[in-house]
Structure 1
Amino acid sequence: MRLVRERGRLMKAAGERNPGGIGAVLGLDEPTVTDICRQAGGAQVANDNAPGQIVISGTLDGIEKAMDLARQAGARRVIRLAVSIAAHSALMTPIVDEFAEAVKMTPIKMPTVPVISNITARPLESVPAIQEELVQQLTSPVRWVDSVRYMVEQGVTTFVEIGSGDVLAGLIRRIDRNVKRVNVGVPADIINIQTEQQLPRQGGTTGAG
């Protein structure tokens, strides 16, 4: 939790020094949005959430230009989000070194179940890889679609979303309608799931958030 707090503190400071923005583009595929961001300059894909749902991040000017280009390209909808911290973008570069030091000082052990990197959409196989992932997440896009598809290819048939709400379950449904999606909002949900034999009691795979 200390590392999570430090990450939040540094991102807030970066956002105050270099205000940016975030927008959602609906109805265009990821390669098209990536090209639009390249044309706009100062913007990049931050989250590939689901087919036809891409989040972009970057400078205020870059986001506005990218949103205009997305509309011209036929986006079904373009939404400017009320966020001033340009997460998963180059605007977070000034805090990379300081956060890397915080990661280095944090004890990290290999997990007992596979953890999928949301940068490479592949398993993290060493502590140095986990440390590098945590730092690179500041400026790299979240490849959620690729991560989910990789897990499905590896035989995952049930995805469990832990916490209130079902946003991720909804995104997974748009990626692959054939997998089972389960929400765990309170401890009692775990017992109910195990009783219904929807979820194995041990083992599993998780995505790196």
Structure 2
Amino acid sequence: MTTQVAFLFPGQGSQAVGMGADVFEASAAARRVFEAVDEALGFSLSTLCFQGPEDTLRATINAQPAIVTVSLAFLAAFQEALSAHDSAWSSPLAPAYTAGHSVGEYTALVASGAMELKDAALLVRERGRLMEHEGTVCPSGMAAVIGMDAEVLQEVCQQASEQAQAELASAPGHPGLGKVVIANYNAPGQIVISGEKRALELASDLARTRGAKRVIPLSVSGAFHSPVMQPAADQMVQVLATANLHDATIPLISNITAAPLLHAESFRPELAQQVATSVQWVRSIEYLVAAGVTMFIEIGPGQALTGMIKRIARGTRTLNIGTVADLEKAVALVRELNIVL
């Protein structure tokens, strides 16, 4: 039986001080990734990943390039361990698809051959700066809602937005004022809402009233994947207009549409608008399962995506590679299953 593999890459929130330090020591390919990013950014992002401080690493402008860099370092180490040759990103284990959660989509584009490492680092650093700025201009946040159907939560967000906008004394000056929306469809019963501070508070209270098991405020600098981020999305259009993008050699599953993308010009609107648009993660994984994927390998810090897969696609095989120990187990299993192409 053929094993179809998808590489998945995590987004913001997976960062932790110390991430990537072990693979930096263990893998020459991983070290090259860290060194290239440090050179591109003009400061030692690797030191920030390995040593912190935590508050600085958690800042959106730093967390986003840090997560992408660590994920790509583990990908490089994984491919290096599977082959003694200096291989391209998609070899020796060529996934059928790639996908990334939010900023992880940039990692997936590098893995798909559509973007160069240094370009990705610079773009993600600017993305983080713009998103952090909008969170300052329009005080806002995000919250995970556990145990509520998406349809009911959609109604909650609509009602909270209407009430918050009615409370505004004057016409809104920022596109995110008084608005809260579903930001991440992460897994059944695990959905993230995002919006302007007052609207988010109203939605959180209403979700509890309507039967949510838990509503957990998230430690983020703004309302990602909501109308609060529309100015950042508009500016990303300009940033991406001159970005060096190529057609992908491996299809990437869109956060916005949960459909495969291959062509360079399709990536520009995707990367710009995903900043202010819901992440359709459940639909993305369902698409991959329907397309025949039977193994999901999460590459990067944390295990959040692996947990989501287990709730969305029971019966599929999952691996996560976020430490050298994980890497060694994954290499052994891939060799055992004889799925190296």
TM-score, normalisation: structure 1: 0.91
1:190 CA displacement: 4.9
1:59 counterpart (196, 210, 214):
196
The C-alpha deviation readout for 1:54-104, integer Å capped at 9, x for no partner, is 100000001011011101111111111222311001011122222111111
Partner Cα distance (2:256, 2:126) in 1: 21
Matched, 1:194 2:334: yes
Which is richer in helix?
2
Stretches of structure 2 lacking an aligned partner (at least 5 in a row):
1-120, 162-178
Equivalence for 1:125 = 262
1:22 counterpart (133, 142, 149):
142
State percent identity of aligned pairs. Answer: 44
Q: How well do the aligned residues superpose, as a CA RMSD in angstroms?
A: 1.4
Supply the AA of the counterpart residue of 1:194. V
1:126 CA displacement: 2.0
Partner Cα distance (2:329, 2:300) in 1: 11
Equivalence for 1:207 = none
1:78 counterpart (185, 208, 215):
215
2:297 counterpart (127, 148, 160):
160
Equivalence for 1:183 = 320
1:196 CA displacement: 1.9
Supply the AA of the counterpart residue of 1:2. L
Of stretches 48-57 and 88-97 in structure 1, the one that deviates more from structure 2 is 88-97
Structure 1 counterpart SS, 2:217:
strand
Equivalence for 2:129 = 9
1:201 CA displacement: 2.6
Structure 2 counterpart SS, 1:91:
helix
Q: Number of residues paired by the alignment? A: 201
The C-alpha deviation readout for 1:98-156, integer Å capped at 9, x for no partner, is 21111111101122111100110100132221111001111100010000001000100
Supply the AA of the counterpart residue of 1:166. Q
1:188 CA displacement: 3.8
Supply the AA of the counterpart residue of 2:130. L
Partner Cα distance (2:153, 2:182) in 1: 7
1:44 counterpart (181, 188, 209):
181
Supply the AA of the counterpart residue of 2:205. D
Partner Cα distance (1:160, 1:99) in 2: 29
Equivalence for 1:69 = 206
Structure 2 counterpart SS, 1:46:
strand
Stretches of structure 1 lacking an aligned partner (at least 5 in a row):
203-209
Structure 1 counterpart SS, 2:275:
coil
Structure 1 counterpart SS, 2:261:
coil
Larger radius of gyration: 2
Structure 1 counterpart SS, 2:256:
coil
1:30 CA displacement: 1.2
Equivalence for 1:103 = 240
TM-score, normalisation: structure 2: 0.57
Matched, 1:139 2:276: yes
Of stretches 177-186 and 189-198 in structure 1, the one that deviates more from structure 2 is 189-198
Supply the AA of the counterpart residue of 2:144. A
